[in-house]
């Protein structure tokens, strides 16, 4: 019974977030659909460089979408309960509501007044959709990379990239573009294809919601390396060259770029460290300041620079000790929780910790497998993490929280698959 109520709490909040957490998983998409895997823990926002890694949180609808989704899910649960159809029916009803909210999220990006110019500091992430009219005002160019792929990029960002590339080549470092601009229409096509082939749940776990991918801006560029004349494209290979990436990162700000997803900021950006994913932010409006220089020197994320999220002065991450999981496994699991937490709009994380091996029981493993039957995923191990965080101060941020309160020991249940990947399966009290 304890698990049933915990599951109900998870569903209500998940629906409020319009299935954003569902996509914060460690499961990779089928290999033949690498291009469509989105915003994942080791690779963000649909794009070959950021799509091949374990799947992370999918883009979440904005505040406007979250409230109706939560209300719909709550009503669905109440109706199911009133009808006496039990917890299973309530789960299904709320899950359907969350799926509906996710699949219609692109509509939200169409609200508001259309923009009339390109804002190079625009924020597009799980909670902030592409501004209306963006695709009408950007100017893009096409290039063919070293492996013969056509890549489309925003014009000014591409000019800056060419200067960066020339500087790197002068130092014997060779890069090329893996992906950049992707239209909302193309993202919708990927979403629809995945839904038809793999179902709603898998799609929400692995594909960015159309309208909420930074690649829609044309300003997000995924690089790959050319080492000794060989194209290094796959994420698992790219991460084996940390010295090269360090040299690349040192030059980014000189040309208006920032490293978009920095290590240790997963709970802010929603994505794990991606050395290949850079973002053009350029100059301020009067061209008097290199914004990339300011952001890089501050050590902040774009979200922090724009004051888009509340961030505590000190966040404690405690991986604990375990005889069940290695430290690397616990760190990987914690990243999944952090990526999911980034979708909790207006919430300020204070601490995250491993709950201990006592939660790794067969009973809990059976439980998470039972609530994941529809996904077809079979977990071999279970882990629990706990978070402390402060809920949104402003009541207008509608979510499943009491405003301006400290939440303690908030539970996150994760399942580990046979290949070592992690999924956030349930969360709540």
Q: What is the pLDDT of residues 258-272, one digit of tens each?
A: 999 999 999 999 999
pLDDT value of residue 326? 98
C-alpha pair distances (Å), 232 with each of 45, 66, 179, 218, 427: 19, 40, 14, 23, 37
- Collect all residues with Cβ–Cβ distance below 8 Å to 238 and sequence separation of at least 6: 49, 224, 225, 232, 245, 275, 276
Given this model, what pLDDT does residue 6 score? 40
Whether 212 is in a domain gets the answer yes
In a domain, 420, yes or no: no
Instruction: Say if 162 falls within a structural domain.
Output: yes
Alpha helices in 61-183, H assignment, sequence order? 63-82, 86-103, 105-108, 134-137, 155-170
Give the total number of structural domains in the chain: 1
C-alpha 329/C-alpha 133 separation (Å) is: 43
Tell whether the model's pLDDT for residue 277 goes beyond 70.
Answer: yes
pLDDT recorded at residue 399: 66
Residue-wise pLDDT tens digits, 96-137: 433 343 333 434 444 578 999 999 999 999 999 999 999 999
Q: Which residues are marked as active site?
A: 274
- Reduced to 3 states, what is the DSSP secondary structure of residue 26? coil
Tokens of 164: 């960066």
The model's pTM: 0.78
State the angle between helix axes of 63-82 and 86-103 in degrees (0 to 180), rounded to the nearest 10.
160
| Residue 154 maps to a domain | yes
Strand partners, 237: none
| Domain-embedded: residue 79 | no
Is residue 293 in some structural domain? yes
pLDDT for residue 5 is more than 70: no
pLDDT tens, position by position, 309-347: 999 999 999 999 999 999 999 999 999 999 999 999 999
What local confidence, expressed as pLDDT, does residue 68 receive?
30
Indicate whether 411 belongs to any domain. no
What is the rounded average pLDDT of the residues 175-202?
Answer: 92
Report pLDDT for 113. Answer: 84
Kindly report the CATH number assigned to the domain that includes residue 188. 3.30.1380.10
* Domain that includes residue 256, residue range: 134-301
């Amino acid at each position: 019974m304890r698990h049933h109520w915990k599951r109900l709490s998870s569903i209500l909040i998940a629906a409020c977030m319009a299935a954003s957490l569902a996509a914060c998983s460690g499961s990779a998409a089928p290999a033949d659909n690498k291009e469509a895997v989105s915003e994942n823990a080791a690779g963000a926002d649909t794009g070959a460089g950021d799509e091949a890694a374990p799947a992370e949180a999918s883009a979440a609808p904005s505040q406007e979408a979250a409230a109706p989704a939560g209300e719909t899910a709550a009503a669905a649960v109440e109706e199911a309960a009133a009808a006496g159809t039990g917890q299973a029916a309530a789960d299904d009803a709320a899950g359907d509501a969350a799926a509906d909210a996710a699949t219609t999220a692109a509509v939200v990006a169409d609200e508001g007044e259309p923009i009339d110019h390109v804002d190079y500091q625009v924020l597009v992430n799980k909670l902030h959709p592409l501004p209306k009219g963006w695709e009408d005002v950007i100017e893009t160019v096409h290039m063919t990379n070293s492996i013969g792929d056509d890549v489309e990029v925003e014009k000014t960002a591409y000019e800056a990239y060419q200067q960066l590339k020339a500087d790197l080549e002068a130092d014997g470092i060779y890069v090329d573009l893996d992906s950049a601009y992707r239209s909302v229409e193309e993202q919708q096509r990927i979403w629809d294809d995945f839904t038809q082939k793999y179902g709603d749940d898998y799609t929400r776990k692995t594909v960015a919601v159309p309208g909420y991918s930074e690649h829609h801006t044309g300003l997000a560029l995924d690089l790959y390396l050319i080492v000794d004349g060989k194209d290094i494209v796959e994420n698992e290979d790219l991460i084996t060259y940390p010295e090269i990436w360090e040299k690349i990162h040192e030059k980014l700000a000189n040309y208006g770029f920032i490293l978009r997803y920095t290590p240790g900021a997963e709970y802010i950006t929603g994505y794990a460290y991606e050395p290949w994913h850079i973002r053009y932010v350029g100059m301020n409006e009067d061209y008097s300041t290199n914004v990339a220089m300011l952001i890089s020197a501050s050590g902040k994320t774009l979200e922090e620079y724009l004051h888009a999220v509340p961030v505590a002065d000190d966040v404690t991450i405690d991986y604990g000790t375990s005889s069940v999981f290695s430290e690397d496994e616990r760190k990987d699991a914690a990243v999944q929780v952090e990526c999911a937490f980034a979708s909790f709009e207006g919430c300020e994380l204070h601490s995250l910790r491993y709950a201990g091996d006592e939660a790794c029981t067969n009973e809990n493993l059976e439980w998470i497998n039972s609530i994941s039957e529809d996904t077809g995923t079979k977990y071999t191990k279970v882990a629990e993490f706990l978070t402390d965080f402060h809920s949104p101060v402003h009541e207008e941020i509608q979510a499943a929280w009491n405003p301006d309160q400290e939440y303690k020991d908030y539970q996150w249940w994760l399942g580990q698959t046979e290949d070592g990947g992690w999924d956030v399966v349930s969360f709540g009290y």
